[in-house]
Amino acid sequence: MQNKAIPVTRSSMPPIEEYIREIQPIWDSARLTNMGPLHQQFEKAAADYLAVDNISLFANGHLALEIAIQSLGLTGEVITTPFTFVSTTHAIRRNNLQPVFCDIDPEDCTIDVSLLERLISEKTSAIIPVHVYGNICDTAAIESIAKKYHLKVIYDAAHCFGIKVNDRGIGTFGDISMFSFHATKVFHTIEGGALTYGKASYKVNLEHLKNFGFTSPELVEAVGTNAKMNEFQAAMGLCNLRHLDEEIVKRKAVAERYRQNLAGIKGIKLLPEKRGIRQNYAYFPVFFEPIIFGKTRNQVFADLAINNIIARKYFYPLITDLQCYRGIYSITDTPVARTMADQVMTLPMYADLDLKEVDRICGYILA
């Protein structure tokens, strides 16, 4: 008998009665969107969980990032990473800015800070690094470079809900951080996202920009967009937040089981866990060095697919190889990112993934 398909991820679903209880009041108020009571309640709950002082909620993470860039009035060039989801680069381009790609550190796949300064020109206005898979960038180095050259820093923290660094919320670094609450993320509101920021004064502008730029019913001061989180999304967020700690514990057990099976195997590289970090175990990336391991990433991927296990190649292709960006940037500029993209596979990871299934997946990889 064919085994049941195992997807790379499975969205968290709160008990349906709990969600119904949460959305019930919407039928009395007929308040569906535009920063209603559930939005307000969830905004506070999310800020508490993230340990941040300032937060704004959005329809999704991508629009949040576009608005973050717009709100800071960036110009010219933005230094970023090619080892990310397309959203990061698209948000820069859709603001008519020029991405400048910095290579990554092979130890954690985040931007290689030793290469940053040489990429700064008189046109550079910001750095947009990504805490890839929840691996924290070298925030201290980025902060000191940003300060020296008067650059803004926006972190793509899409993978980072609930991560803390020595008890400090990950969303408190840089000028602004963006979180995604997409259905496939460790915490979700179906679709959704947030920006967190150190300056409380940013809030007014961000709230206007997500509502077409309206500052009052007859006054539109900025060319905003529509990126409001609705009440049903907020209700899902309130429900999922109650179960998140428990889910992270289960994800941790899955990650540990993968490590037990795969650590120390020649030709398989796992990213080290850093000390002092409260992780969320959003992804489990594995890197295959074909000559040492004997199989390429694509061969392993195919072996898993035959057995109905659907892994993903996050992040492959590299952004600079995507149809819409290809040829514009030199592929030799980021050789480490290129190698990592060719070797990476993210294995199935979700709270309810059975540990025996983890063993079975690892069995196919090592076969």
Ligand X SMILES: *Cc1c(COP(=O)(O)O)cnc(C)c1O
Site residues for ligand X per CB under 6 A: 60-62, 84-85, 87-88, 130, 156, 158-159, 180, 182, 193
177 burial via Cβ count (<10 Å: 0-12, 13-18, 19+)? buried
Fill in the amino acid letter for 330. S
The torsion defined by the Cα of 217, 222, 224 and 228, in degrees rounded to 10, comes to -50
Minimal distance in Å, beta carbon 14 to ligand X? 19
**Nearest residue (CB) to ligand X, 159 versus 251:** 159
Taking the C-alpha atoms of residue 4 and residue 2, their distance in angstroms, rounded to an integer, is 7
DSSP letter (8 states) at residue 35? S
Q: Which residue is nearest to ligand X, using beta carbons?
A: 61
Minimal distance in Å, beta carbon 62 to ligand X? 3
**Nearest residue (CB) to ligand X, 182 versus 269:** 182
Minimal distance in Å, beta carbon 267 to ligand X? 27
**Nearest residue (CB) to ligand X, 142 versus 362:** 142
- CA separation (Å) from 152 to 79, 125, 147, 203, 291? 10, 6, 8, 17, 41
In this structure, the strands spanning 152-156 and 176-180 are parallel
**Nearest residue (CB) to ligand X, 81 versus 257:** 81
**Nearest residue (CB) to ligand X, 130 versus 209:** 130
Whether the CB-CB separation of 85 and 129 falls below 8 Å is answered with no
**Nearest residue (CB) to ligand X, 97 versus 262:** 97
What backbone phi and psi angles, to 5 degrees, belong to 257? Answer: -65, -40
What token pair was written down for 141? 């180095």
Minimal distance in Å, beta carbon 58 to ligand X? 8
Minimal distance in Å, beta carbon 281 to ligand X? 15
Minimal distance in Å, beta carbon 111 to ligand X? 13
